[in-house]
């Protein structure tokens, strides 16, 4: 176990990704460890704070100790014209109007590949759990890149991939109606480097469910590369799977990991509350 302070104890959950941080609510809300947690987050990809039990106000305050708070309402009308810092993650359409589109949360992805600057980090708290399933997995895309052969690194350097909501929607429903197809096609898309060259000097892979095709490659060769690299990045040695307990808080580096939820019954009542730290660096 690595002890950073009498109020903050850390131990790694797997060799390549994930650390548990033990601290009480007052310590986390104090902001004393904001910079230290940022460094640890970049190094370990995912931080788990077991059974902290934040309410929404505390979660928002804690998120603000890690950086600039990001606002997201996922296409919903903002409450009384105000941006919302907390988003309810549920597959139950009675709970979340965006539940149907949240089926993409079951696919490996990073958030914001169609934006110029993806969010830096997400903070997720467990409010209600499904009796079965609903675990969350994260894959370290820094470690996955580092472990590639030099031949592979040279082959993919400089390649660009078009990411789109259209690709995401087709993953969920391969037989979109033409109206659905047109709507998805008119939503954001962006060309991004396959290799993210971060300002910290490290490199990571940018793959996942939003990746449509590699520019300049034949269709099948493009898919071959994207599927191969996704499988490479999400093999067990780069992955941490979290079995939630109510009150757990997870924070992950959205710029250096992929994530997904494992399948669960939409009617199970599983409910997570998400807040976000605004992005600070474009992919390229």
pLDDT tens for each residue of 51-78? 999 999 999 999 999 999 998 655 555 6
Asked: is 2-90+116-140+240-277 a CATH 3.60.130.10 domain? The reply is yes
Instruction: Give CATH 3.60.130.10 domain extents, the chain.
Output: 2-90+116-140+240-277
Of 50 and 73, more confident: 50
Indicate whether 94 pLDDT > 90: no
Q: Can you tell me the mean pLDDT for 231-243?
A: 98
Count CA atoms closer than 13 A to 71's CA, side-chain side. 8
56: three-class secondary structure by DSSP: helix
CA distance 210 to 218: 18
Confidence of residue 79 (pLDDT cuts 50, 70, 90): low
Which tokens in the block code for residue 33?
A: 């460890």
pTM value > 0.75: yes
CA angle 104, 244, 256 (to 5 degrees): 55
Q: How many whole angstroms from its chain centre is CA 39?
A: 18
Query: Where on the phi/psi map is residue 185: left (φ > 0), alpha (ψ -120 to 50), or beta?
Result: alpha
Model pLDDT, residue 1 = 44
Residue with tokens 């990045």: 233
Q: Can you tell me the mean pLDDT for 198-226?
A: 97
H or E segment at 166? helix 165-172
Q: What percent of the chain has pLDDT over 70?
A: 92
Point out the least confidently predicted range of 91-100, 193-202, 243-252: 91-100
């Amino acid at each position: 176990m690595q002890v950073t302070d009498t109020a903050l104890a850390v131990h790694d959950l797997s060799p390549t990704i994930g650390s548990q941080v033990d601290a009480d609510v007052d310590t986390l809300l104090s902001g004393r460890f904001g910079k230290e947690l940022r460094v640890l987050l970049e190094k370990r990809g995912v931080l788990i704070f077991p059974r902290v039990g934040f309410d929404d106000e505390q979660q928002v305050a804690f998120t603000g100790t890690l950086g600039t708070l990001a606002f997201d309402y996922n296409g919903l009308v903002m409450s009384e014209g105000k941006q919302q810092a907390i988003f309810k993650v549920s597959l139950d359409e009675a709970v979340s109007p965006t539940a149907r589109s949240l089926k993409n949360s079951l696919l490996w992805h990073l958030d914001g590949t169609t934006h110029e600057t993806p969010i830096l980090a997400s903070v997720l708290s467990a409010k209600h759990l499904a009796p079965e399933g609903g675990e969350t997995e994260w894959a370290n895309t820094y470690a996955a890149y580092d472990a590639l052969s030099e031949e592979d690194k040279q082959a993919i350097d400089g390649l660009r991939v078009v990411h789109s909501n259209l690709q995401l929607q087709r993953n969920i429903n391969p037989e979109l109606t033409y109206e659905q197809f047109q709507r998805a096609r008119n939503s954001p898309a962006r060309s991004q480097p396959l290799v993210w060259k971060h300002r910290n000097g490290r490199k990571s892979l940018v793959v996942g469910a939003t990746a449509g095709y590699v520019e300049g490659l034949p269709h099948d060769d493009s898919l071959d590369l994207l599927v191969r690299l996704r499988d490479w990045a999400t093999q067990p040695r780069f992955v941490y799977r979290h079995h939630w307990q109510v009150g757990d808080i997870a924070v992950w580096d959205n710029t250096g990991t992929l994530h997904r939820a494992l399948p669960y019954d939409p009617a199970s009542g599983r409910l997570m509350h998400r807040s976000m730290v605004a992005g600070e660096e474009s992919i390229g």
